[in-house]
C-alpha cells in the first residue's frame, strides 16, 4: 500500500476551498509521524512548522498551535539553521502566524541570498507583497520567477492568483493550468482558473473547466454552478440548483438562502422569505463568531435586498472596519466591493462608484467583465461613469 506523503497531503488540504472541508489536522498528523521517524530533524520540524503555518492561516487550526509552530522552528534552527527549508519555515512563521511582514521579508531575503537559484524565497516574498497590497514589489518579484522552475502546484496556482491582482489574466491562467497539469486531481487550481476566466469574461471556457473538475472530482461544486448560471442569465437553472443544494455546500450557512433570494428577485418572484431565512442564519453564525467580517458583509447584502437601508449600510461598513482591524488588505478589498454592491442595491450609486473606481486603481479580484456579467451590478451599469469604465 502506498504511504501517504505529508507534502502531497498538504497540497490536497490547501485545495479544499470551504472551511468545513479542509484537512490540516490529518496533514499535521502525517508530519508528526515524519518527525518521529526522521533522521534529518531540521527538515522534518521545518516542514511541520510550514504545515502548521498554513493551518493557522486557513483558520482550521487556532492560535494555540502557534507555540507548537515556534517550537518546531526553534528545533529546526538548532539542528541546521542554514538549510533552505529552515529559512523558509522561519519566514512563514513570521508571515502566517505573527503577521510580522517586515521580519518575514527579511528572512525570505536571507534565504534568497543563500540560495539564489531557488525560486521558493521569491515565491514567499510574493505572498507577503500580495497580502500587504505592495503591488510594485509584487510585480518586480514575479518577474524574477521563471515558471518552468516552479514544480509545486500549490506555489503555481498561488502565483497565478498574484497575476490576477495585477490584471494579467492570461499569465494567471497559464500558472493555474500548469498546476492542473502537474497535479490534475487538485480542485483549487481548477477553481482558481475558473475564477480567472470569469474575470476575463470567458464564460464558455469557465463552464468547460468547471465541468472538467466536476467530472474528475465527482463533487458537484454547486455554488460555482450557480455562479456561472447567473452570469449567463440562466436564472431558472440557478434557482433549481440552489433549491436542491444543502447549506453545507457553501462557505457559510445562510449563503444558499441569499442566493435563492437574489435569484428570486432577478426572476420577479417573491424573495422576502429567503432574505429572512438568510438573515436568521447569518445571525446564528454571528453569535458564534461576532467579529467575522464576511458574515457582517453577507448580512449587509441580505438587508440591502430587503431594502433595509440603515441595517444594510451598518453591516457593510462594519465588515470593512473589521477587515481593516485584521490588517488583511485582501479581505478589506473584498468587503469594500461587497459594500459597493450594497450601495448599488440601495440606489446609492455615487458611493458605489467611488469604491468601484478605487478597486480598479488599487488592484483587486475585480474586472470590467464582472461588472457586465454579475447581476448584483446590473442597476449600476446605466450610470454614465460606469459606462466610461466599461
CA 224, CA 209: separation in Å to the nearest integer?
11
* Grid cell listed for 31: 508530519
Question: Is the pLDDT score of 23 beyond 80?
Answer: no
Give 341 or 364, the one with higher predicted confidence: 341
CA 160, CA 122: separation in Å to the nearest integer?
14
Burial class (CB within 10 angstroms; exposed 0-12, middle 13-18, buried 19+) of 23: middle
CA 123, CA 84: separation in Å to the nearest integer?
13
What does the pLDDT read at residue 4? 65
Q: Report all structural domains of the chain as residue ranges with CATH numbers, in order of start.
A: 146-219 (1.25.40.10)
What does the pLDDT read at residue 18? 40
What does the pLDDT read at residue 85? 96
**Helix, strand, or coil here: 38?**
coil
Question: Is the pLDDT score of 1 beyond 60?
Answer: no
What does the pLDDT read at residue 217? 84
Question: Is the pLDDT score of 17 beyond 50?
Answer: no
Predicted confidence band at 20 (pLDDT cuts at 50, 70, 90)?
A: very low
What does the pLDDT read at residue 7? 81
Q: What integer is the mean pLDDT of 129-153?
A: 95
CA gyration radius for the chain? 22
CA 316, CA 302: separation in Å to the nearest integer?
10
Query: Model confidence over 152-196: pLDDT tens digits?
Result: 999 999 999 999 999 999 999 999 999 999 999 889 999 999 999
- Percentage above 70 pLDDT, the chain: 97
**Unique residue bearing C-alpha cell 418572484:** 269
CA 44, CA 167: separation in Å to the nearest integer?
38
What does the pLDDT read at residue 16? 57
Question: Is the pLDDT score of 219 beyond 70?
Answer: yes
What does the pLDDT read at residue 11? 80
Question: Is the pLDDT score of 258 beyond 70?
Answer: yes
Q: What is the DSSP string of 111-162?
A: HHHH-TT-SHHHHHHHHHHHHTT-HHHHHHHHHT--GGG---HHHHHHHHHH
Backbone angles phi and psi of 214, in degrees to 5 = -60, -45
183's torsion region: left (phi>0), alpha (psi -120 to 50) or beta? beta
Q: What integer is the mean pLDDT of 310-337?
A: 94
Q: What integer is the mean pLDDT of 284-298?
A: 95
Query: Model confidence over 191-209: pLDDT tens digits?
Result: 999 999 999 999 999 999 9
Question: Is the pLDDT score of 50 beyond 90?
Answer: yes
Predicted confidence band at 110 (pLDDT cuts at 50, 70, 90)?
A: very high
Predicted confidence band at 6 (pLDDT cuts at 50, 70, 90)?
A: confident
Name the least confident of 64-73, 143-152, 226-235, 357-366.
Answer: 357-366
CA 329, CA 62: separation in Å to the nearest integer?
21
Question: Is the pLDDT score of 19 beyond 60?
Answer: no
**Unique residue bearing C-alpha cell 436564472:** 235
Q: What integer is the mean pLDDT of 355-381?
A: 91
Please say whether the beta carbons of 241 and 226 come within 8 A: yes
What does the pLDDT read at residue 38? 77
Q: What integer is the mean pLDDT of 312-340?
A: 94
What does the pLDDT read at residue 21? 44
Question: Is the pLDDT score of 3 beyond 80?
Answer: no
CA angle, 317 then 319 then 323, to 5°: 120
pTM across the whole model: 0.91
Q: What integer is the mean pLDDT of 347-361?
A: 93
Q: What integer is the mean pLDDT of 70-90?
A: 96
Predicted confidence band at 57 (pLDDT cuts at 50, 70, 90)?
A: confident
CA atoms within 13 A on the CB side of 385: 10
What dihedral angle (degrees, nearest 10) is formed by the CA atoms of 303, 304, 306, 309? 90
CA angle, 62 then 317 then 340, to 5°: 110
Give 151 or 38, the one with higher predicted confidence: 151
Amino acid at each position: 500500500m502506498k504511504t501517504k506523503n505529508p507534502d502531497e497531503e498538504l497540497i490536497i488540504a490547501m485545495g479544499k476551498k470551504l472551511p468545513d472541508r479542509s484537512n490540516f489536522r490529518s496533514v499535521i498528523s502525517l508530519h508528526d509521524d515524519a518527525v518521529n521517524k526522521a533522521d534529518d530533524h531540521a527538515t522534518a520540524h521545518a516542514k511541520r512548522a510550514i504545515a502548521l503555518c498554513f493551518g493557522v492561516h486557513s483558520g482550521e487550526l487556532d492560535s494555540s498551535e502557534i507555540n507548537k509552530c515556534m517550537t518546531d522552528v526553534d528545533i529546526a534552527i538548532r539542528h541546521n539553521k542554514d538549510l533552505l527549508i529552515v529559512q523558509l519555515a522561519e519566514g512563514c512563521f513570521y508571515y502566517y502566524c505573527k503577521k510580522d511582514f517586515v521580519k518575514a521579508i527579511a528572512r525570505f531575503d536571507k534565504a534568497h541570498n543563500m540560495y539564489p537559484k531557488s525560486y521558493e524565497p521569491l515565491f514567499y516574498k510574493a505572498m507577503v507583497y500580495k497580502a500587504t497590497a505592495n503591488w510594485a514589489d509584487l510585480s518586480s518579484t514575479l518577474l524574477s520567477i521563471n515558471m518552468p522552475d516552479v514544480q509545486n502546484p500549490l506555489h503555481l496556482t498561488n502565483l497565478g492568483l498574484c497575476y490576477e491582482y495585477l490584471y494579467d489574466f492570461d499569465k494567471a491562467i497559464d500558472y493555474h493550468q500548469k498546476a492542473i497539469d502537474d497535479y490534475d486531481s487538485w480542485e483549487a487550481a481548477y477553481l482558481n482558473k475558473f475564477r480567472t476566466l470569469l474575470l476575463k469574461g470567458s464564460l464558455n471556457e469557465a463552464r468547460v473547466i468547471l465541468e472538467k473538475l466536476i467530472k474528475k472530482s465527482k463533487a458537484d461544486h454547486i455554488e460555482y454552478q450557480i455562479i456561472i448560471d447567473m452570469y449567463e442569465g440562466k436564472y431558472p437553472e440557478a434557482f433549481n440548483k440552489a433549491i436542491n443544494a444543502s447549506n453545507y455546500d457553501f462557505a457559510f450557512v445562510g449563503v444558499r438562502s441569499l442566493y435563492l433570494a437574489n435569484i428570486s428577485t432577478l426572476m420577479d418572484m417573491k424573495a422576502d422569505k429567503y432574505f429572512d431565512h438568510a438573515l436568521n442564519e447569518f445571525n446564528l453564525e454571528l453569535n458564534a463568531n461576532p467579529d467575522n467580517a464576511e458574515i457582517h458583509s453577507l448580512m449587509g447584502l441580505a438587508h440591502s435586498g430587503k431594502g433595509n437601508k440603515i441595517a444594510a449600510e451598518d453591516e457593510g461598513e462594519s465588515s470593512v472596519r473589521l477587515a481593516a482591524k485584521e490588517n488583511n488588505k485582501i479581505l478589506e478589498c473584498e468587503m469594500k466591493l461587497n459594500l459597493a454592491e450594497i450601495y448599488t442595491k440601495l440606489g446609492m450609486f455615487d458611493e458605489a462608484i467611488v469604491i468601484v473606481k478605487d478597486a480598479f486603481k488599487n488592484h483587486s479580484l475585480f474586472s470590467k467583465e464582472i461588472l457586465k456579467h454579475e447581476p448584483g451590478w446590473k442597476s449600476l451599469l446605466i450610470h454614465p461613469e460606469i459606462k466610461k469604465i466599461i
